[in-house]
Amino acid sequence: MRRQRRQPSPWWAGWRLAVALLALIIAVGTTGYILIEGWSAWDAFYMTMITVTTVGYREVHPLSRAGERFTVVIVTVGVATVLYTFSFLMAQVVEGDLQERWAARRRERMLDELTNHFIICGFGRIGQTIAREFSRQAVPFVIIERVAERMQAAINAGYLAVEADASSEQVLRRIGIERARGFIAAVGTDAENVYAVLTARLLKPDLFIIGRAETADAQSKLLRAGADRVLSPYQIGGLQLAQTALRPAVVDFVQLATTSDNLDLNMEQVKIGAGSSLAGRTIIEANLRQRFGVVVVGIQRADRTMQFNPAPETAMAVGDFLVVLGEAKNLRELEAAAAQPAMSR
């Protein structure tokens, strides 16, 4: 099969045209003065250069009438060519390289300022969905993608992205893994995800890591590599389809409660901080329903055991996550109370 020739870029084609025109004018001018005036090659070349560049020096030798006419042509065509070349060069500097440098410096500055962010490895279909959801909820994140086209697509979408290997320790340090909130390995293959998770876990042992797995074998490997959670898109998609077929009302309720587009009702997790006024108190003692207008639907203990629909007499401890339903404003107030230290009496 015959390979197609790669077409030159518009920038390279325009630059070649400008240089070719300028070289042609200099060559024609030099040859013309040699033939018309009988000058030496250097005198003819020097006269052409000071004419084309409009320096304004006197003629090298007195010109004949034919030489004067030829000089008028060289001035007209040559100056136009020089102006075209100069304007084209400046346009490329201002619109091309300079803009790219500014954009690169801006990205570097944004990387330095990242904190409490998520690192998304891969900008495929899964990565794009995650990025859209994080962006909608104003969650800071950075994307690592080694395919240039996908990385550029992420930048065009307005996301912060770097073109690199997600398993590179140097790259992970550069994007602030020490300051990161979480790490999501969602690249194309299970092997790449395992290496990325392993590297991230070694760099930050307490980082929350989620891995994407295609097979059951990959799930166990990701867990051994250090992932806190391992999810299979196919398994989740299949379960979602089955639940929608069997319990559509339940699925609609969960989607309504968890989607960021719904402003009236949200399902959130709220962590009980150390020294919080809620720590050690029961749900009824904290009076969460009356104070904050939220419903506690579950409590995840520090050992990850989940208690659904806890009784009012259930005590809350430091490190517990309350799974609550309520309006966004009320949830923010509850988060503040859960993190605020109790007042000393």
* Calpha distance 250→97 (Å, rounded): 54
Asked whether residue 42 carries a pLDDT value surpassing 80, the answer given is: yes
Would 305 be classed as within a structural domain?
yes
Q: How much is the pLDDT for 3? A: 39
Q: Is residue 243 one of the residues assigned to a domain?
A: no
In a domain? residue 257? no
Last residue of a domain, one of 109, 137, 171: 109
304 lies in some domain: yes
For residues 102 and 133, membership in a common domain is answered with no
Query: Are 124 and 218 members of one domain?
Result: yes
Residue 188 in any domain: the answer is yes
Residue 126 and residue 84 in one domain: no
Q: Are residues 28 and 65 in the same domain?
A: yes
pTM of model > 0.95? no
> Do 271 and 333 reside in the same domain of the chain?
yes
Q: How many domains does the chain have?
A: 3
Q: pLDDT digit string (tens) for 301-336?
A: 988 889 988 998 999 999 899 999 888 888 888 888
Band of pLDDT at residue 184, cut at 50, 70 and 90: very high
CATH code of 101's domain: 1.10.287.70
**Residues 133, 37: one domain?**
no
Please identify, among 84, 109, 134, the residue that sits at the C-terminal boundary of a domain: 109
Say yes or no: 231 and 282 in one domain: no
Name the pLDDT band for 92 (thresholds 50, 70, 90).
Answer: low
3-state DSSP of the chain: CCCCCCCCCHHHHHHHHHHHHHHHHHHHHHHHHHHHHCCCHHHHHHHHHHHHCCCCCCCCCCCCHHHHHHHHHHHHHHHHHHHHHHHHHHHHHHHHHHHHHHHHHHHHHHHHHCCCCEEEECCCHHHHHHHHHHHHCCCCEEEECCCHHHHHHHHHCCCCEECCCCCCHHHHHHCCHHHCCEEEECCCCHHHHHHHHHHHHHHCCCCEEEEECCCHHHHHHHHHHCCCEEECHHHHHHHHHHHHHHCHHHHHHHHHHHCCCCCCCEEEEEECCCCECCCCCEHHHHCHHHHHCCEEEEEECCCCCEEECCCCCCECCCCCEEEEEECHHHHHHHHHHHHCECCCC
Contacts of 49 (CB under 8 A, 6+ apart): 26, 55
CATH of the domain at 302: 3.30.70.1450
Interval 115-146: pLDDT, tens: 999 999 999 999 999 999 899 888 999 999 98
Which residues form the domain of 24? Answer: 10-109
Tell me the pLDDT tens digit for each residue of 95-119.
555 566 667 777 788 888 889 999 9
Give the CATH number of the domain where residue 208 resides.
Answer: 3.40.50.720
pLDDT of the residue at 80: 82
Residue 4 inside a domain? The answer is no
Per-residue confidence band for 177, with pLDDT thresholds at 50, 70 and 90: very high
- Could you read off the pLDDT of 208-261 as tens digits, one per residue? 999 999 888 889 999 999 999 999 888 888 888 898 898 888 888 777 766 656
Q: What is the dihedral of CA 139, 145, 149, 155, to 10 degrees?
A: 30
Shared-domain flag, residues 168 and 66: no
Selected residue with higher pLDDT from 311 and 89: 311
Cross-strand pairs, 284: none
pLDDT tier for residue 337 given thresholds of 50, 70 and 90: confident
* Span 80-87, average pLDDT: 78
Strand partners, 209: 183
